[in-house]
Chain A
Amino acid sequence: MIFLTRKAEFSSAHYYWIDDWSEEENYRVFGKCANRNGHGHNYTVEVTVAGEVDPVSGFVVDLKQLKDILEREVISVYDHRHLNLEVPEFRSSIPTTENIAIAIWTRLKNKIPNARLHRVRVYEMPDLFADFYGEETGGEQA
């Protein structure tokens, strides 16, 4: 089993806000991220796939193909967009780093031939990142 990771970048705007909450409550929980004018980041996404090395090509997956899938499914939808206003999945969930990792996983799931999606890592900035491994349950402890 080999793990292969492809990196890509996108730049987007977002804000954190829950409509059912008052402005005071939103600012108490989300701080300056609640500013409705939005703010932005240069995001980096790392997609890790797992698979066996093809004995003929020597590839787990064709990197060019993986790059094209990532571009088509994620980067072309997220890059230079306002995530809350222009990306469908964030009409019903806040574009936190955790939710972006889950959303990218959902977009890529079953789209990568000959390999299994292992991990999606999203860096909001170099000192903050979230990982999602497709675990739908667990983590109940808090």
Chain B
Amino acid sequence: MSLQGWVPDIGPYLTVAEVIEHAFDYRGNVTVMRHDGEELVGYLSNRDAAAPEPFVEVIDEEGEGPIRIRYADIVNIRFTGKDPAEGNSWKAWLERKEREKAQHAPSTSA
């Protein structure tokens, strides 16, 4: 199931660090919301929770970056971009092939 469109509800059952893990695994753009009210839209390409000062790295929509943001500065992350990993292209291709085969098959009706 894709996380596309997800707006996490940060609270006792979901931490920012957990949302960062989901965002790192997500292949679309996200919107990183900072405590200071700034927002950055881009692809979250890296994160290091074990660093002395945990950080994420984001490549923005223009391809600039990576822009490093500290975990401590992040209030939430929205999954705003289209998920390019979502979809059934292989299935769709097979279905199209089957349709083509059926169209080219000789008619069996009398």
Query: Are A and B associated in one complex?
Result: no
